[in-house]
Every structure is written in structure tokens, then in C-alpha cells.
Amino acid sequence: MNTNEFFMKKAIACSCDNIKNDGGPFGAVIVKDGVIIAEGSNRVTANNDPTAHAEVVAIRNAAKYLNNFNLSGCEIYTSCEPCPMCLSAIYWARIDKIYYANTKIDAKNIGFDDSFIYDEIALPIPERKIPIIQMMRNEAIQAFNLWEDKADKTEY
């Protein structure tokens, strides 16, 4: 078994073990320099947290472990193709590479269908199902101006 297969087997084991612990069938591990530094399993229903997807949980654990929000130099192995939220989190975390096992079609076939989110993102804002209303930009822009002028900010 090669290294990639070893790490994917760990992610898959997280997904299987999680089902026995009242979680969803998703697992992920984050690897840096050939070592697993974090694991995550889907805890959405167990924790009543819609953001507690395996990849997001693993990212949170990795960031805590490294004491850094920037996970450059890391790779993620996930038991399923990341949903739009997880994919965004992976990009924001600056993870170098994604390995996945099951596809989003496999997930859809067992009731985890994210296609409506992909469809919604592609629509112009006025055509989306959830109303999105911009307001108070003139007041809110003050925070952006303060950020722009801040000399000692941490860029990300």
C-alpha cells in the first residue's frame, strides 16, 4: 500500500467509525510532511451544527494544532468529494492538494445532494431562492476603510 492509500484508508475509517457514533458517513484527515496532523468526521446532526462537515472539522483541528489559519504545505484526504462549503474552506485554508474517494453523485444517491447549492451560486443574486438584500453599505464600509488603513494587520 502506498502512502496516499494509507491516508485515504484513514479518512474512510473516520467515515465508517463516525456512523457508529451518531454522525454522518464522511471523514477526512489532513497531512503535513507525511504525518496526519488532524482528523475530522461529519458531526452535523450529532452537534446540531450545519457547518460540522468532516473537512471543516479537520481544518479546524489542523489550524488549532499548527496554531495557524494558513494550512499551506498540507494535503487533505476526504472520503467524499467536498461540497461547496468544504471546498471553499479548503481554498480559504490554502491546503495544497485534495484527495477524495466517493463522488458528489455517490453522495447524492444516498440523500446528500448539493446540486441545488451549485445551481444557486451560479444564479444572479435576484434569482436565488433565499432573498439576499444589501443594506447600509455606507456604514459598513467604515470597517473596510479601517482595515485598509491598519498598519499592523495580519494579511490572509
pLDDT digits (tens, 9 = 90+) for 108-140: 999 999 999 999 999 999 999 999 999 999 999
Decide if 16 is inside a domain.
Answer: yes
Average pLDDT value for residue range 3-9: 98
In terms of residue numbers, what domain contains 101?
Answer: 3-149
**1, pLDDT greater than 80:** no
Q: Judge whether 40 lies within some domain.
A: yes
% of the chain beyond a pLDDT of 90: 97
Q: What is the pLDDT of residues 48-81, one digit of tens each?
A: 999 999 999 999 999 999 999 999 999 999 999 9
**Helix, strand, coil percentages for the chain (3-state, nearest 5):** 50, 15, 35
If one counts the domains in the chain, the total is 1
pLDDT at 155: 85
Does residue 46 belong to any structural domain of this protein? yes
Q: Is residue 156 part of a domain?
A: no
* Structure confidence at residue 156 (pLDDT): 81
Percent of the chain past pLDDT 70, that is, above it, reads: 100
Residue 109: inside a domain: yes
CB-count exposure of residue 10 (10 Å: 0-12, 13-18, 19+): middle
Question: CATH number for the domain including 107?
Answer: 3.40.140.10
Nine cell digits for residue 4: 496516499
Q: Is residue 142, in this structure, part of any structural domain at all?
A: yes
pLDDT value of residue 29: 98
How many whole angstroms separate alpha carbon 129 and alpha carbon 143? 29
* 46 and 23 Cβ atoms separated by less than 8 Å: yes
Residue 154 lies in a domain: no
Q: Is 31 within 8 Å of 77 (Cβ atoms)?
A: yes
155 found inside a domain: no
pLDDT for 9-23, tens place per residue?
A: 999 999 999 999 999
Residues annotated catalytic, as ranges: 55
Q: Is residue 79 a contact partner of residue 27, using CB atoms and an 8 Å limit? A: yes
- Please give the full DSSP string across 25-73, using - where no structure is assigned: S-EEEEEETTEEEEEEE--HHHHT-TT--HHHHHHHHHHHHHT-S--TT
φ, ψ for residue 47 (rounded to 5)?
A: -105, 0
Q: What is the mean pLDDT of residues 98-116?
A: 96
Q: Residue type at 11?
A: A
Record the pTM: 0.93
**8 A C-beta contact, residue 53 and residue 86:** yes
* CA separation for the pair 22, 91 (Å, rounded): 28
